[in-house]
Amino acid sequence: MAEVAINSCSWLKTHRVNFLKALASSRVPHASLFSGVKGVGKKLLVEQFADTLLCQSPVNSQGLIEPCGHCKSCTLRMAGHHPDRLTVSANDKGTITVDLVRVVIDKLSQAAHQSGNRVVLIELAEKMNVNAANALLKTLEEPMPGTYFMLTSEAPSQLLPTILSRCQHIPVAATEADITDWLSSQRIPADKSVIAMFHGAPFAVKSFLASDEFSVFEQLRDQYKKWWRGEEQALGQMKQLVSKEPVSRIDWLLHLVALHALSAKGSNVTGLNAWYDQLVTCRKLLSQSGINQMLQIEKSFQFGEQLTSGTIKQA
């Protein structure tokens, strides 16, 4: 993520323009919540806003603003220990506890170290338990001049309504066209079905396309097409590929079936939708402990076999 140039991310531009306007008119919200799927660039955006607020002489260029990268504040931040840039993230158990929030609140009760702004980044705010959220709420209810809270969330509906009501909510999203353009600007061939699989998350798409898993996904997709054209043995190949990494690869199959159902006709749609539902159940079971994963995979592929050999015929 750190290597991504924010200027190349067209879907973040509106947010950056709005931020500049807010900064220019001294109306940056005291608390903001940036929501969106994993891999859409929330962190990139929030960190740039935080770093700009801390920078002593931000650079304004063509309607956008960014930290200078040279001042004392930027130097401290780039060295990884700016005392007025506070981050809260979940512990090993995936929870933001009240103690983690209190550490930050205690620091805020002291004066800012660099006699400038202070920024508190709360990563995946939905990980806060009730006590943590209530502790934060008290602080949000009493805004401190020059202190900015920036929360990110993949699941804002899980946040307490009282927290939500204290934050300016900024949904971050990328369209399929944004992702296609962004990839092509980096000379990465856009793969439509992968773009659709990652539901508007450009960074997730990019890293998947660059991974070894992508070539396995391509094999699965090829076998799927062969199978639907009538090459029955291709289903066995698909099963082999999925069996090697059932938990993640069952998602690929789900995705291929969903895309196929969208373009299929008549009774095929019913059959594919039924298979899709069965795969959703299978996926849930696979993530449980003590499950015989191979047995579940076997069942899913038996369902697939019935699709081509049973009442449902090819289009």
Chain residues binding Zn ion by CB under 5 A are: 55, 67-68, 71, 74
Structure-token match 């191979």, residue found: 294
Q: Which is nearer to Zn ion, 71 or 216 (CB)?
A: 71
- Tokens describing residue 139: 């602080």
Q: Which is nearer to Zn ion, 71 or 196 (CB)?
A: 71
Distance CA 224, CA 180 (A): 24
Q: Which is nearer to Zn ion, 22 or 68 (CB)?
A: 68
Q: Which is nearer to Zn ion, 75 or 233 (CB)?
A: 75
Write down the least CB distance from residue 60 to Zn ion, Å.
12
Write down the least CB distance from residue 24 to Zn ion, Å.
17
Structure-token match 């805020």, residue found: 108
Q: Which is nearer to Zn ion, 67 or 156 (CB)?
A: 67
Write down the least CB distance from residue 188 to Zn ion, Å.
32
- Tokens describing residue 38: 């994993």
Please state, in angstroms and as integers, the Cα–Cα distance from residue 284 to each residue in 69, 247, 254, 293, following that order.
46, 9, 12, 11
Distance CA 172, CA 156 (A): 12
Amino acid making up residue 29: P
- One-character DSSP codes across 50-118: HHHHH-SSPEEETTEEE--S-SHHHHHHHTT--TTEEEE---TTS-B-HHHHHHHHHHHTSPPTTSS-E
Nearest-CA neighbor of 185 among 2, 5, 3, 1? 5
Write down the least CB distance from residue 76 to Zn ion, Å.
10
Amino acid making up residue 88: V
Q: Which is nearer to Zn ion, 67 or 304 (CB)?
A: 67
Write down the least CB distance from residue 69 to Zn ion, Å.
6
Residue 257 near residue 272 (C-beta atoms within 8 A):
yes
Q: Which is nearer to Zn ion, 71 or 280 (CB)?
A: 71
Q: Which is nearer to Zn ion, 53 or 133 (CB)?
A: 53
Please state, in angstroms and as integers, the Cα–Cα distance from residue 43 to each residue in 38, 46, 68, 311, following that order.
9, 5, 19, 50
Q: Which is nearer to Zn ion, 64 or 68 (CB)?
A: 68
Write down the least CB distance from residue 170 to Zn ion, Å.
23
- Tokens describing residue 105: 């609140």
Write down the least CB distance from residue 73 to Zn ion, Å.
5
Write down the least CB distance from residue 89 to Zn ion, Å.
24
Q: In sequence order, what are the beta bridge partners of 87?
A: 121
* Element housing 261 (H / E): helix 246-263
Write down the least CB distance from residue 62 to Zn ion, Å.
18
Strands (E), the chain: 31-35, 59-61, 64-66, 85-88, 118-122, 147-153, 168-171
